[in-house]
Structure 1
């Protein structure tokens, strides 16, 4: 996807950052590893990885030029010697035996052809290298998707979605259990993990929808985009009301994949 608003994402991705921190803890890093962060976005998670490996190196890659530009501006090489960023398509990785760990958080549900991704990761990892990937999985964000579908069917919006194709790839554990052995990985753990995503109020929910569900929003005229987002939020909150404390809640389903490289590259 090339239409990311990097600054807006930076402001509205606190849940993704929290989940990334939980995922980083599962790596049990020693401090010297060379790490690839696949889908690094604005770079704040990549920077956390770099702080975990003062004796190692971390490279963040992302297809979005806007995201890479923001990450490079936020974390200049002069301030973070073991951290760098590069624009690259996850399906066309070009690394060879460079990394001990490949990490990815909240990215691969945007990507088709996961076998191509896994082949690239296997080539880029050193012997016995490992991957830890988390992405939207089967059943993810059903309430949000249903809210979009309800609003899209309304007469004032329907014409903008006549050729719309669902843009996400929410795979199942079975998919990865089939793909991993064929791409040179031994599965260690492949599971769906439910997550409760919270936002402080309806405006924060709208910010998250605007920044991460933009394939829907870009279908409508720009001058009507905010109205469309507001109607989606209102529709969602009708079915999933704000609870005590003012928080909104979205039921998410994350596919988490942990595996080790088995084949020599």
Structure 2
């Protein structure tokens, strides 16, 4: 089951997802058009999993031409509403049809939602021009480890089997993902795995907000009353490790990677 996306709630309570990755654009280094030297008018960049368009707009503000794609229609509708001057399309990253159209493919906090990564990497390679670059950040090995364990415990405590929930995420190691890129002639030139626990919005409601936004693919299999009970159990488990100074944090671990099409 896919996660369901409330675009307005995402922008209101989870804008940190985009804001934390603003420096990823520096790594992308989008090139603006120069009429004197570039007939192309600057880099053409695909923002894969663009969400509500915040980072696509940041990239465009540096003079590049951006196409933002996301499989969630609610996100694309919000992006088009916020940034009507940019191009956004509802597309599945597992089925990219572009052929050597982009100088760069950029992705933030999206690739860990796709459990068939090889299809995505193949499409990225096809979409890039020769020498084009792929710049991405997403959940890496060990991401939300404590949260996932608490989810499984809470489901078991409620009397349900492990099979009740399926894992919607893909969190690879650097070695695993680097090998996948190389297999498809994308040469990694930079890779890092690092902890970055964000502070969640709305104080004591932070963790339940996070769960309802990012883990609703499993929550929605339960009744409203069961959801309240399970969320409470998860909070009780996590409070000693992820709650401090009247705020919740999420135990994020990110993989950040740059690769070039050979």
TM-score (norm 1): 0.88
Task: Note if contact 1:161-1:219 (Cα within 8 Å) is conserved in structure 2.
Answer: no
Tell me the distance in 2 between the aligned counterparts of 1:102 and 1:11. 27
Q: What corresponds to 1:169 in structure 2?
A: 170
- Structure 1 residue 43 and structure 2 residue 53: aligned? yes
In the TM superposition, what is the alpha-carbon distance from 1:118 to its structure 2 partner?
Answer: 1.2
Query: How do 1:134-145 and structure 2 match up within 5 A?
Result: 134-145=137-148
**Which of 206, 209, 214 lines up with 1:204 in the alignment?**
206
Q: What corresponds to 2:20 in structure 1?
A: 19
- Structure 1 residue 75 and structure 2 residue 86: aligned? no
Tell me the distance in 1 between the aligned counterparts of 2:162 and 2:196. 29
Tell me the distance in 2 between the aligned counterparts of 1:4 and 1:254. 21
Task: Note if contact 1:136-1:252 (Cα within 8 Å) is conserved in structure 2.
Answer: yes
- Structure 1 residue 130 and structure 2 residue 133: aligned? yes
Tell me the distance in 1 between the aligned counterparts of 2:164 and 2:150. 18
Cα deviation digits, residues 44-68 of structure 1 (max 9, x gap): 2221221122xx3101101111111
Task: Note if contact 2:115-2:168 (Cα within 8 Å) is conserved in structure 1.
Answer: no
- Structure 1 residue 228 and structure 2 residue 230: aligned? yes
Q: What corresponds to 2:67 in structure 1?
A: 59
Q: What corresponds to 2:112 in structure 1?
A: 109
Count of residue pairs brought into register by the alignment: 251
Stretches of structure 1 that go unaligned for 5 or more consecutive residues are none
TM-score (norm 2): 0.88
Task: Note if contact 1:118-1:183 (Cα within 8 Å) is conserved in structure 2.
Answer: yes
In the TM superposition, what is the alpha-carbon distance from 1:42 to its structure 2 partner?
Answer: 1.4
SS at match of 1:189: strand
Task: Note if contact 1:9-1:212 (Cα within 8 Å) is conserved in structure 2.
Answer: no
Stretches of structure 2 that go unaligned for 5 or more consecutive residues are 33-41
In the TM superposition, what is the alpha-carbon distance from 1:228 to its structure 2 partner?
Answer: 3.2
Task: Note if contact 2:155-2:230 (Cα within 8 Å) is conserved in structure 1.
Answer: no
**Which of 81, 95, 99 lines up with 2:98 in the alignment?**
95
Task: Note if contact 1:137-1:254 (Cα within 8 Å) is conserved in structure 2.
Answer: yes
